[in-house]
Amino acid sequence: MSDPFTGGCACGAVRYSIVGEPMVQADCQCRTCQRVSGTGHGSYLTFKDATVTLQGEARRWEAVGDLGTVKSHAFCPTCGAPIYLAFPAMADLFTIHAASLDDPKRYAPAMTFFTASGFPWDPVPSDHQAFEGMPTG
């Protein structure tokens, strides 16, 4: 087992530690992720059945994805940095923003979702598996 994945917001008020390995590491070019990240895509690590420890109080807002999945976006109420996503209907999943990692070099994406919403100035890396939307199976 590797070291826990640790990280938090820009000001340090909200922190996390995750024991487990990500089931997927991916970029997402959907419009919500573009708006949240302020650029062409969001970058995420998703864990399943991991042990997650949170410190500090995050604020949340919810959005419904293209497949009808409710996503609870957590951010720091002090600095505004996005930190993680939780899924009310899938409590076993926990997703963190790659930039929130203490060691962002641990992020190793292999795929990109919602390439249909991508911009020419944010090309999909040639070694990524690419999906026009969210893969369902």
Q: What is the CATH number of the domain that holds 107?
A: 2.170.150.70
Residue 79 within any structural domain of the chain: yes
DSSP states along 49-61:
S-EEEEES--EEE
Question: Which residue range is the domain that position 86 belongs to?
Answer: 5-121
Q: What is the pLDDT of residues 37-95, one digit of tens each?
A: 999 999 999 999 999 999 999 999 998 876 778 899 999 999 999 999 999 888 999 99
Residue 135, in any domain of the structure: no
Would residue 50 count as lying in a domain? yes
pLDDT-derived band at 123, boundaries 50, 70, 90: very high
Residue 1 has pLDDT above 70, yes or no: no
pTM of the model: 0.93
Is 77 part of any domain? Answer: yes
Residue 32: what are its φ and ψ, rounded to 5°? -60, -45
Could you give the number of structural domains in the chain? 1
Report the alpha-carbon distance of residue 9 to residue 16 in Å, rounded: 9
Average pLDDT over the chain reads 94
